[in-house]
Structure 1
């Protein structure tokens, strides 16, 4: 029911959100599972459709900020994991080749851990055996089965070669298996944990590190001021909206109004004729201010904007992307002295607030002087009365 109500509300825009597309697939799969169970359960088995019911739990990832941080950490770790996997693959490859050369001729004894399912007679079997050892499963028994004094196998056969006698195997197996278990279990595999922990520590030790996980909060707060989803809000709502967003994207509740006004002045976004600012322009201005992307003194900002636009053109070379570039970095024609911008508006507000603060300070100082003068007159009058009483 929830799915159909949301679909009727948003209609075509419903499928623009990735979570909505996930909901659509989940609901369709669940309905298909119910129909097959009710009408076609005797003719076809589609038990995998029941997985769609459990897939609804993935929706919880959208609700919790901490869960999204953990998911983002896992995704970021994938950038470094291929190098760790390559290093572990090289270790397995080297030890597999050495194992085939040293232990490949040992007879496969079904009464030991070195048998037809667990041996060094082929590269594939060697990799499987080494993987088993890396998990710690009976690796010491495999090591003992490869020591010196073992019978050899006939070439290209599983039969024992009694004529050759117990001459296969080597005492080198102690060094071979001990070093492999140490490197794989206690060093290499722990690199996975190290990479994930490093990324988690990087993302959580400093909340000022800007990342894609901050976008959800900005979109959520923006929606409170733009319920019709027009992509625009009035410039007078920007200060309060950004105070409702925690740093590094927003200002936070504890940010002084003067500091917030100065940030808005540096953002300097164009204001439309109806007094609104665009979503994309606001978001990129916040990111640019937070990360100091080509931020220079006021007299050099036009040059910095043009350099940034040139950089974006290299990233988005198609002419069709020109509108996006204009939204991300407004051209100088939109920021000239003849156009209304957020920077100009909040400059005026900052001047007005400073004037009010100065005026209230002058009035407060005047009241303090009047109070001090009154106290002085009262003191003098008291002394005069005391002198009269003495006389």
Structure 2
């Protein structure tokens, strides 16, 4: 088995571990006659891996053709798993070649083979590092941490800032307002409207198409809640946690949020825990599993957090860490301080819902 085939199989293992037993049972049902009937009996991890092996044997899936699996995952509303396969495709396209024909294999020279192996090893590291979740019991690969440090925040004169800039729907932002807030680019009218609606309503899901500036909206909301706390409780630390579902976009989002200015932004690196960053930062960018670990270990309580932002918040089915965080948020038995819960903002380009049975199970 080649390096590329091994990489694809490991991606499938990671996907299987993210699925619930019910998810896997539904997948096996969809596979139907394409897998042995005995494997449809339940959604155990073993049965599901055996089902995938059967699909390989019957040429239903391969590292170059997994549309069959994508359709099945879409049918059970696991778009996060589909995204994992899309990310895999992005990494491998143009680097790991399609499976060669028999004639091509005969004509392939040794130097070309060596070059392809080298490239596939590089891309395999990138794929697996991105898919590897911290402390989830399925450690595949460790990579060097990404070092990021936002500039030291400029001081703000909070007494000079009137929060009506954010809160009053009739107020028109001026250049002087933007200068006072240290905002370099005027938000678009629809962004301003969403910001104000979110502030008025509290917990909010922002659904906009890709590229429409959801991160700008999130950054402005972070700045609003930061300023508000500094005006009302200047001796209290402000903390926002921005969750990203994949490691690969941590740095991108950290840089984008740091551009809003006046905030100390830090990403939680592979060798760090979130509780180590509290007290010295205003915004922490992290994958959700890191936060779940701290909640379970009791090293972080929700009362310490002012704002939680969930990027790609549609990833909330099965055993996704986003669900685990919200269990602490919603369940009094898990949340030690039900009156000290943070504001929750969700960002997504795709609002979807699991089937009725799954929603009843979660509720």
Report the TM-score when normalising by structure 2.
0.25
Between Structure 1 and Structure 2, which shows a larger proportion of strand residues?
A: 2
Report the TM-score when normalising by structure 1.
0.24
